[in-house]
């Protein structure tokens, strides 16, 4: 039986909202020592201008920050 994490390995999604905000997510299993969880995950939320892009290793912290700072309407939440 496949685990839920099997679906995450190599996952890559992206979209642009009507106000030109870009959301991209990437996740891959890795054996590198830099990633304690054995997963490398990146999230880009913002513009296509590379200067404001931030990469976080700790996705829980990033998700909490993203959710608190993002306009809920782009996720279909009111």
The answer to the question of residue 51 being in a domain is yes
* DSSP for residue 50: S
The answer to the question of residue 31 being in a domain is yes
* DSSP for residue 73: G
Decide if pLDDT at 22 tops 70.
yes
The alpha carbon of 46 is separated from its chain's Cα centroid by a whole number of angstroms, namely 12
The answer to the question of residue 76 being in a domain is no
The answer to the question of residue 77 being in a domain is no
Q: How many CA atoms lie within 13 A of 33 on its CB side?
A: 0
Burial of 39 (0-12, 13-18, 19+ CB in 10 A): middle
pLDDT in tens, 24-67: 888 888 888 887 778 888 887 777 666 655 665 677 787 788 77
**pTM (global) more than 0.95:** no
């Amino acid at each position: 039986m496949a685990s839920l994490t099997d679906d995450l390995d190599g996952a890559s999604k992206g979209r642009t909202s009507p106000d030109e905000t870009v959301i991209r997510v990437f996740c891959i299993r890795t054996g590198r020592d830099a990633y304690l969880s054995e997963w490398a995950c990146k999230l880009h939320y913002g513009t296509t201008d590379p200067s404001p892009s931030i990469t976080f290793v700790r996705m829980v912290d990033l998700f909490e920050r993203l959710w608190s700072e993002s306009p809920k309407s782009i996720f279909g939440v009111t």
